[in-house]
Structure 1
Amino acid sequence: MGTYNFSDIFDISALQGLLESLSAALGVGICIRDQHGKYLFRSRECGVCCDLLEEAPVGSDEQAPETVYQAFTPCVRYCQAAGLTDAVIPVMNDTVLAAVIQVGWVRLSEQEIDDAEYLTIARALQLDEEQFLESVHAVPLLTRTHFDNILNAVSLIMEHFSQLGHKNMYLKSVISSLESQEFLHQQEKNVLANLAEKDSMTGLYNRRKFEEVVALYARLKTRKICMISADANFLKLTNDIFGHESGDHLLQAIAKIMNDLAKSDWLVARCGGDEFRVVLPDTTLETALDYCRRVARNCRRDKSLALPLSVALGAAEWNSEKETLQDCFSRADAKMYQNKTALKHELRIPNYIMERLYDRQVLSKEVVEFTASLTLDFALYLNFTGEHAKEASLAAHFQDIGMAKLPESAAIRGQSRTEEETTQIQMHVTHSYTMARQFDELYKLADIIHCSHENWDGSGYPSSLKGDHVPIESRIIHLVSDYARRTHPTVTGGYYSEEAMKDRLARESGSVYDPNLVSRFLEFLQTRELH
């Protein structure tokens, strides 16, 4: 029967009316108890049982629960202590006992005793003898056949009610299932409705919703409306260098800033790719421009991403008498592109990435700048042209920019690395090459950067190039950067003295380093010392 109670399955008031009528017509008491023994109904014919026997100081065995509640078939019971007979009829719901119908009390002619014995019973129960005898005389005297016929009639009626109860329970189950399905349907409906107007990645409204709102406002020519066009900067670059997951984070970060700063009646939408739009009803142009400034400022403050969080914005106020709302947006879009061009010149992405590497202590700014400076001076010492020497210096500066793609754990120094971790570290050279090709100022230096960790004897990485197959600029950078790195203090405290490092360069000449360059570099260092 699950969690349903008897009153959940049956119409108690209707059942009570029926049983009261049966009790009066048949002249027998009828009561209902639930499966726990609690009375749900008792007819007016239950006088002796309900009024006298239950109040008897001594009591009778009629109250024994095991007799009543373990009855799963009709059971006729003679109470020796009371001298009366009753019967219990189970009310089943499927195979579960839902309740019992108790029929009685009656006197059976086959078991009838005289008044003297009833008086003896009254004394045993400590009841008023005259009152008890009067109540007994009011109890109908039936033959067992007559009583069985009454029980059969009540049993048939209760069997009918049990079937109805089973159907009621089934219907309740069906209704509950339908309600659950309706609830799930409504949830799905809400999800679909949300998907129809929301961008799943950022949670902002989508293009469809934006166009619906624009179409609505386009008919309201008396309202002051501003439009904003926004475009996330460096999305493609982020995707190409760091992967689409990083690109998603960039869009989500911009979306959150734009949405958090917007007023409740503004509509902020992502209309695809890196494109965002805002509709600002009842808003002046100055308010729209202030919003743009605040969005740009909050983006600049965010340093959580590998590339700058930056968005180009343009705003326009609708002149409803001279243009359509779409024309207004086109003006905002044009201003956005003007700002985007200016931002590209202002933001130098390679430098930003390097600063992030310094902040994370992946690279030492002091060592990087010293390496670039020393490379420039050594290249000039080797009679490189000024332009050529600057290119070598620039390549030296950004040779390890690919470290930005490595996980934070890879930058921890002083630890023993597994073979897999070592391979991961060495991969940063390939990352540096890939990243250099993304930037105009580094594009033609990408091959130099890619070879900057190759050894003279071919034991370096990533391509195991040997001898003159390694570009001379890369050989210079390898030599100078190792000298610079090993003669500067590290986070672990150990580093070479200049003399010790010179000895090491001499020992590794012809294996790690180009022997001719080692000789010239040692001369160069001697020249610097003299000056």
Structure 2
Amino acid sequence: MENRDGLPIDWKCMMDYSSAMIQSIDLQGNFLYYNDAFRKTLGYTDNEMKYLNVWKLLSPSSRRTYEEVLQLVKEGKEPGERELTFVSASGGEVVLSGLISISKSTTGEIYGTTEFYRVYAYVDAPFYIDKSFRKEHDAQKSLDYPHGNYDGNMVLGLADLNSPVNRFLDSIYDLVFFKDIHGVYRGCNKNFAELLNLPKEQILGRNDYDLYTDEIADIFVSKDQQIFKDLTPRKNEEWNTRNDGSRNYIETLKTPYFGPNNQLMGVLGVSRDITERKLAEERLEENERLLDIYFTQSLSGKFFMMLDHPVKWRQENHDSALKEIYHNLKMNRINPAMVSLYGISEDALLENTIVKEVFTDIEEGKDHWLSLLHKGHHQMVLEKKKKSGETLYISSDYTCLYDSYGQVLGFFGNQRDITKEIHAEEERKTRELYLQKILETATDGYYAVNEKLIIIDVNEAYCRMSGYTKEELIGSSIFIHTVKEEEEGVLERTKKILETGSALFESRHQKKDGTAFDVEISVSVLSDPDTIFINFIRDITERKQLESYFLIEKDLFKNTIHSAADAVISTDDHGIVIIMNSMAEQMTGWNQDEAYGKKLEEILHVEDRNGNPIGDIAKDCISRSETVEFSQDHRIVAKNGSAVFVELSASPISGSGSETIGAVVMFKDVTRRRAEMKNIEDLSFRDALTGLYNRRFLNETIASKEELLGLPLTIMVVDVNGLKLTNDAFGHSVGDALLQAVGRICKEVTRPGDIICRTGGDEFVILLPNSDRAQAKALKDRIVSVASKTHVESMHVSLAIGYSVMRHSEEHFDDLFAEADNNMYRNKLRYGKTVKKRTMEKLVQKLNTKHPEVINHAKEVSNYAIKLAQVIGLEENELENIRLAANYHDIGKVMVPKELLKKKEKLTDKEVSQVRKHAELGYQLLKEVDEYKHIAEVVLSHHEWWNGTGYPQNLKGYDIPRAARIISVADAYETMTGKHSYRKPLSKEDAVKELRNFSGIQFDPDLVELFIQKVLNEI
């Protein structure tokens, strides 16, 4: 007979009253049994023991020892004799020594341990001994303490400092001393004497009050008295501070000493320097503390999955070992980042997580498992689906954990959400492809070179200019197309461009066939991460020819200027305007007659990117005798105050000699080109439907400006209720109109500085700088109020809104966004169903307006179907379902053109297919509304035929839902006998005949007969 502890009654009684300390522990460290001797020794009550396990009672160092004990037990190995330190109820420590044995059930299964202990020593609290611990005394003073009457040879031998006993003690590394029952030192070794910095002669015959300060002597004497009282060893730690500030630790074990006749003679003390051990323990504790901080505070998810027992991994027989490992791994420990990553509680993760959810399935991902177990380490990217349907990408790193025998204990995992990085990379590639397309279709040439002046990219336009192919240019030095006379200036010009960041200049390039051509080059420098020079090249051979013609003949030059496509103004050597062509007149607002004789700076007002005026560029180029160029970041301000961005250059004109006789200024309007480039950039940040910012803009704003957004910052998530149902019911054009209406509402009620983004199909996010919770609540109420007054296709706009407020810069935006998103979903759960139900009501109204015959037909079908259902004895809830399904069986026809439903002529195959879609459309609409989703399958199947030739699923016989078979009979009869614009009604007799003709083909034969006999005959 056994009691509830699984122990035989007679054995339990023996252990209950045994003076030995006895306990039984399971494999997790929980108490299966303990006797009073064990409990009382540690000073706990029975009630306190109910809430304790062995881990809470052991000292930190003994916990590690006990982990080894349980591991040996799990492996079937006997732990044997062990010495463990337990913490008592008073906070002190007691060293217990004894035998630990394996405990097995009657079936031989190991379930824990049985442990028998005895008190080895009581551990006193550590105390500090300062440098003045020793009391000075007169070494010559004669001391007379009672010696007692002892029989032991050891005590007699200690009196003689040269005795064999003393020589033996001096050879011991530990510090040894002996005090009699009066506290008088009767013996010690030289190491103990050195600790006190006294010769033995000045120690022996004295007590603690002679050698130590009274405070320390009181401690030593009280501990000695406790030993004499309970005759049990005591252990304590003491430390002092060295001259260098470090600590010196000493551990002392005092044991009662008995003579040959078992009489108590005194205390034998053995002390040992444990400084190195204590320092090692402190380092270990610090390392464990730092590791725990790293584990719990890491931003990446970390977890341990451990096996119940170690498994030997052998590559030659890995299938069975792999299955054993896979099916026995359990989540052991996770950090807060892991909880945040998966969005479920820590308890749920620990209790319910299976291996494939954090790694991969053993069948589909066998190669990943083999890689991890062969190499001990594996990396991969997991794809997980959130509840919202969004894909989550997780970068995962796994490491095998082994025991000292090389057996697998489990593995450690490190996971990080890289969804944003994946999406950012995809967006970057898309944008690069888009920009590459622009470059390829541009008429200007383009090429990019690295800091070594090697061409790394080029477009087709420059290939046409130079006569080279892409393959010939990419990887070649730019000197492949540089004329010899320009080569020396290339490096110097490169240095200047690196300093300024951009440049606009003219050069001469050489084609593949050796001919040279003049080019204008606009260069910009990109320096993240590598230095890249972006070059846009225009062939200006014709322009240069015009300049040369001017030197030949003034009239020819004038005619050429007037025919040039770019704006041209020529001045004399004092910067006075002489000639300007029609394009220059248009761009400046000055005509030739008005401008002639005036200074160029009066006619041509040039500003830099910051709006600062540029001086007289004609005089500048004349004084420098070189071309002055300005990039498209400059603009000119016309006479009427309008401004346009330009590319501009001013070149000196030389006379027949070397003198400069004037300047020619050429410029062209690049406003449109700048706008196109700006538009390209804007398109990548805008939602095409609403014109609001998109998710990409939101992500970049948060990444680059989070610290600039004023606190408190409100993050508001707005979700459009019933968008999918609206799209299905009324078409995507109505759904688009609904989204546009929501965008207008958000813009109407927010402030100019607020940021509104459409981040998904039906989701909007609003950032409200300098807005607290009260302001956020007010904005939410305004949005709801305006939305309730806004109609799209006669439907109210309904929104689910949630928000959160960031008050401190230390808070993470992702956490606040998740909080707002959760609040939105709670709001959506509260009102979403109502919106869907209203949408269905609007849909029925639309159907009644568009096809009134369909509604009347549905009512009649419902009446017939209910009567037939009553005949076969269906329950009230089934009757209600059939009534609903019959009323809505043609709801999908709201999407079918009116003319098809009223067409009297035979429908074409395409038209038949279009009409037949109404069953699937009705199914899609109904399953979106909780109140109607249970009848969706019935509506989908009401055109299935008994013989399996119906639509849309070709169901047959009893595979067709019974409610659908009932509605099919009622529908057919009403269609034949009812009044419809597209056909004449049949008589009751003819309709009955048709039903019987198709009984067993289209209709359930049993239902046809019941309908005819029980329903129609009673009408």
Of 545, 549, 553, which residue of structure 2 is paired with 1:160? Answer: 553
Aligned twin of 1:424? 914
Assess if the C-alpha contact under 8 Å between 2:803 and 2:823 holds in 1: yes
Partner of 1:191: 679
Q: Distance in 1 between matches of 2:870 and 2:699?
A: 61
Tell me if the contact between 1:229 and 1:333 (Cα under 8 Å) persists in the aligned partners.
yes
CA deviation vs aligned residue, 1:119-156 (integer Å, no higher than 9, x gap):
xxxxxxxxxxxxxxxxxxxxxxxxxxxxxxxxxxxxxx
| Deviation at residue 187 of structure 1 after TM alignment | 1.8
CA deviation profile, 1:333-384 (whole Å, cap 9, x unmatched): 3331211111233234583444442343366434424433442332121123
Taking structure 1 as the reference length, the TM-score comes to 0.55
How far did residue 477 of structure 1 move? 0.7
Q: Distance in 2 between matches of 1:400 and 1:292?
A: 36
8 Å CA contact 2:750, 2:779 repeated in 1: no
Select the residue among 743, 750, 760 that pairs with 1:272: 760
Counterpart secondary structure, 2:821: helix
How many residues are treated as equivalent by the alignment? 366
Partner of 2:828: 340
**Contact 2:973-2:991 at 8 Å conserved across structures:** no
The change in CA–CA distance for 1:365 and 1:407 in structure 2 (over 3 A counts) is closer
Task: Select the structure that is richer in strand.
Answer: 2
| 1:4-403 aligned within 5 A | 160-169=553-562, 171-173=564-566, 182-210=670-698, 219=708, 226-235=714-723, 248-281=736-769, 284-298=775-789, 301-303=791-793, 310-316=798-804, 319=807, 331-349=819-837, 351-352=840-841, 353-361=843-851, 364-403=854-893
SS of 1:272's equivalent in the other structure is coil
- Per-residue CA deviation, residues 166-186 of structure 1 (Å, 9 max, x unaligned), is 442354547669666613312
**TM-aligned CA distance change 1:472 to 1:281, over 3 Å:** closer
Which amino acid is the alignment partner of residue 920 of structure 2? T
Amino acid at match of 1:168: I
% identical aligned pairs = 25
Query: 1:260-316 CA distances to partner (integer Å, 9 max, x unpaired)?
Result: 4444443321123432112345662453132231244145x32368xx854311245
Instruction: Give the Cα separation in 1 of the matches to 2:947 and 2:926.
Output: 26
Alignment-mate amino acid for residue 161 of structure 1: K
1:478 alignment partner in structure 2: 968
Residues 226 and 318 in structure 1, CA contact (< 8 A), matched pair in contact too: yes
Question: CA, structure 1 residues 447+312, in 2 after alignment: closer, same or farther (shift >3 Å)?
Answer: closer
For residues 317-340 of structure 1, what are the alpha-carbon distances to aligned partners after superposition, in whole Å with 9 as ceiling and x for unaligned? 665699677766555433312111
Offset, 1:467: 6.2
Amino acid corresponding to residue 351 of structure 1 in structure 2:
M
Match of 1:509 in 2: 996
- Residues 1:346 and 1:470: Cα distance change in structure 2 (over 3 Å): closer
CA distance in 2: counterparts of 1:508 and 1:501, whole angstroms:
11
1:214-255 Cα distance to aligned partner (Å, 9 max, x none):
67585565x776442112334456678888777655433432
Paired with 1:445 and 1:206, the residues of 2 have a C-alpha distance of: 39
CA contact (8 A) 2:833 2:929 kept: no
Distance 1:470 1:275 in 2: 39
Closer, same or farther: CA 193–363 of 1 in aligned 2, 3 Å: farther
Give the partner amino acid of 1:510: N
- Please give the alpha-carbon distance, in whole angstroms, between the structure 1 residues aligned to 2:994 and 2:1017: 21
Deviation at residue 518 of structure 1 after TM alignment: 3.1
Distance in structure 1 (CA, Å) of the matches to 2:552 and 2:770 = 72
- Preserved contact between residue 506 and residue 518 of structure 1 (Cα < 8 Å): no
Deviation at residue 164 of structure 1 after TM alignment: 1.4
Name the CA distance, whole Å, in 1 between partners of 2:820 and 2:882.
Answer: 43
Give the residue type in structure 2 aligned to 1:509: R
Q: SS where residue 312 of structure 1 aligns?
A: strand
Give 1:289's aligned amino acid. Answer: K
Q: Which residue of 2 aligns with 1:452?
A: 942
- Secondary structure of the residue aligned to 2:719 is strand
| 2:758 and 2:765 in contact (8 A); partners too | yes
Answer with 440-449 or 423-432: which moved more: 440-449
Work out whether residues 715 and 765 of structure 2, in 8 Å CA contact, stay in contact via their aligned partners in 1: yes
Deviates more, 1:440-449 or 1:366-375: 440-449
**1:412/1:309 CA distance change after superposition, 3 Å:** farther
Paired with 2:714 and 2:822, the residues of 1 have a C-alpha distance of 14
Distance 2:820 2:958 in 1: 56
- TM-score in terms of structure 2 length: 0.31
1:362–1:403: 8 Å Cα contact kept in structure 2? no
Q: What's the counterpart of residue 55 of structure 2? A: none
Answer whether contact 1:319 1:328 (CA < 8 A) is retained.
no
Using a 3 Å threshold, how does the CA distance of structure 1 residues 423 and 264 change in structure 2: closer, same or farther? same
**Which amino acid in the other structure matches residue 290 of structure 1?**
D
**What is the distance in 1 between the residues matched to 2:982 and 2:683?**
56
- The one-letter amino acid of 1:275's match is E
- The answer to whether the Cα contact below 8 Å between 2:690 and 2:739 also exists between their aligned partners in 1 is yes
Q: Find the aligned partners of 1:291 and 1:502 in 2 and give their Cα distance.
A: 64
State the alpha-carbon separation in 2 of the partners of residues 333 and 455 from structure 1.
47
Give the 3 Å change call, closer, same or farther, for CA 259–412 of structure 1 in structure 2: farther
Contact 2:801/2:827 (8 A) holds in 1: yes
Which amino acid letter does the alignment assign opposite residue 561 of structure 2?
A: N
Deviation for aligned residue 1:388: 3.7
Q: Distance in 2 between matches of 1:159 and 1:180?
A: 25
Q: 1:225 to 1:451 in 2, by over 3 A?
A: closer
Is there any run of 5+ residues in structure 2 with no aligned partner, and where? 1-549, 569-582, 584-645, 648-666
Q: Distance in 2 between matches of 1:461 and 1:332?
A: 45
- CA-based RMSD of the aligned residues comes to 4.4
Given that 2:946 and 2:1004 are in contact with CA atoms closer than 8 Å, whether structure 1 keeps it comes out as yes
Distance 1:507 1:406 in 2: 27
Report how far residue 429 of structure 1 moved: 2.3
- Please state whether the residue corresponding to 1:197 is helix, strand or coil: coil
Instruction: Check 1:484–1:322 CA distance in 2 against 1; reply closer, same or farther (3 A cut).
Output: farther
2:675 & 2:966 partners in 1: Cα distance?
66
Structure 1 residues 212 and 295, CA, compared in 2 at 3 Å: closer, same or farther? farther
What letter matches 1:335 in structure 2?
N
In structure 2, the CA distance between the partners of 1:502 and 1:441, relative to structure 1 (3 Å rule), is farther
Shift of 1:452: 1.5
Q: Which amino acid aligns with 1:232?
A: V
Distance 1:230 1:521, change over 3 A: same
2-structure distance, mates of 1:464, 1:327: 50
Deviation of 1:405 after TM superposition, in Å, equals 3.7
Retained in 2: the 8 A contact 1:292–1:314? no
Q: Using the alignment, how far apart are the partners of 1:493 and 1:411 within structure 2?
A: 8
Higher RCO structure, 1 or 2 (CA under 8 Å, sep 6+):
1
More helix by share: 1
CA contact (8 A) 1:375 1:480 kept: yes
Q: Which residues of structure 1 form unaligned runs of 5+?
A: 1-156
Would the alpha carbon gap of residues 188 and 180 (structure 1) be closer, same or farther in structure 2, given more than 3 Å must change? Answer: farther
